[in-house]
Amino acid sequence: MLKLTKKADYGLMALKYLAEHPEMPALSAKDIADAYGIPAQLLAKILQQLTKSGLLRSHAGMNGGYALAREAREVSAFEVILAIDGPFFITSCTKGKTGCELTPSCTIREPLARVNDTIAGVLKSISIQDLAEHEHPPGHAREASALVELTL
Amino acid sequence: MLKLTKKADYGLMALKYLAEHPEMPALSAKDIADAYGIPAQLLAKILQQLTKSGLLRSHAGMNGGYALAREAREVSAFEVILAIDGPFFITSCTKGKTGCELTPSCTIREPLARVNDTIAGVLKSISIQDLAEHEHPPGHAREASALVELTL
DNA sequence: GAATACCCGACTTCTTCGGTCCGAGTTCAG
DNA sequence: CTGAACTCGGACCGAAGAAGTCGGGTATTC
């Protein structure tokens, strides 16, 4: 449970890849898919979603492809996941238009909503660039540490 | 995405309900199911899992039912979710026995594993009792705040 | 021994994720 | 201008997992 979809995974990988190759004006879906061994067609769809969400810029035609619309530093993992999987909520019914159909039940929700916010905060604090700079052989932990507060 | 299953929801609700009624020596699955309007049979199965995991104690026969095996304060939301949905991981492949099958790809995983730990930490910091004490009309936020650190 | 309640595995249904296919529009090179 | 290379975007499908149901078995109390 509590896992993000492969699409989101792929999306993050793709953005990371783009961040690692800033010299390229554009990379095609196939390039990225091949680099990671993921189905090209699927990646294509994901990249399309990211484009529609404004995280990527696409360029059709030969030597076309995708490029980051913003600096890698300015794109958070949260945005990516949001663009691909839509708004996420820990709980099944969290304030959907219908609220919780279960009787006066959902007293659970309120505390969990805080947890939800916390997670969102963590994901917002992580940028694509952070993912790309994975070159820290376990030992000297990088200090981009983020402090997150949770108030029940 | 990133949502927990209804089973986990139900489990948390049930434990919360038990925590709110410490005077009762035992509550049947049906009692709890009726209180929240959730399918009794399903809840029963969930409670059984929780019993097997040692979070609840069951007692058969008339006036039997379930009771918390530990103090509500001593049971974390993390344990409940773990007991019901099994170990969760943000990423699809996080260190499964096979590791990540994708080429040398999973560079994403390492940073996300940290996120995973952070979330786990947050959930561990929340007890069933915290859920039961939901009586804080928005205004005077309770200060059971937990500080969680995330180091990329 | 009957009523109540837990125990537990099998089964059905339903949703959604992961993945594929294909047609259409766009851009660039020759 | 024509065609190759590429993106765009919707339709489609199979598999997996979640949600919920059913039925038989066992323990406990009255």
* Cα A76 from chain centroid (whole Å): 7
A98 at the B interface (CB within 8 A)?
no
Residue of B nearest to A3 (CA): B90
Nucleotide nearest to A45 (CA to C1'): D9
| CA B141/CA B85 separation, integer angstroms | 30
* A69 within some domain: yes
CB contact under 8 A, A91 and B9: yes
Is the pLDDT reported for residue A143 higher than 50? no
* A143 within some domain: no
* B47 within some domain: yes
CB contact under 8 A, B122 and A123: no
Number of domains in chain A: 1
Is the pLDDT reported for residue A110 higher than 80? no
Do residues A29 and A44 lie in contact, with contact meaning Cβ atoms separated by under 8 Å?
Answer: yes
B92: domain range?
Answer: 6-132
pLDDT confidence band for A45 (50 / 70 / 90) = very high
Is the pLDDT reported for residue B151 higher than 90? no
B134 at the A interface (CB within 8 A)?
yes
Give me the pLDDT at residue B111, please.
79
Residue of B nearest to A124 (CA): B115
B5 at the A interface (CB within 8 A)?
yes
What's the average model confidence in pLDDT over A89-112? 59
H or E segment to which residue A58 belongs: strand A56-59
Q: Chain-wide mean pLDDT for chain A?
A: 80
What's the average model confidence in pLDDT over A12-30? 92
CB contact under 8 A, B1 and A5: yes
* A145 within some domain: no
What angle is formed at CA A114 by the lines to CA B149 and CA B71, rounded to 5 degrees?
A: 85
* B139 within some domain: no
Minimal CA separation from B147 to chain A, in Å: 5
* B81 within some domain: yes
Which of the two residues, A35 and B152, has the higher pLDDT score?
Answer: A35
Tokens matching residue A111:
């505390």
Is the pLDDT reported for residue B19 higher than 90? yes
pLDDT digits (tens, 9 = 90+) for B90-138: 665 554 444 555 555 567 777 788 888 888 888 999 999 998 886 554 4
pLDDT digits (tens, 9 = 90+) for B44-92: 999 999 999 999 999 999 999 999 999 999 999 999 999 999 887 766 5
Nucleotide nearest to A66 (CA to C1'): D7
Give me the pLDDT at residue B122, please.
87
CATH number of the domain encompassing residue A111: 1.10.10.10
* B142 within some domain: no
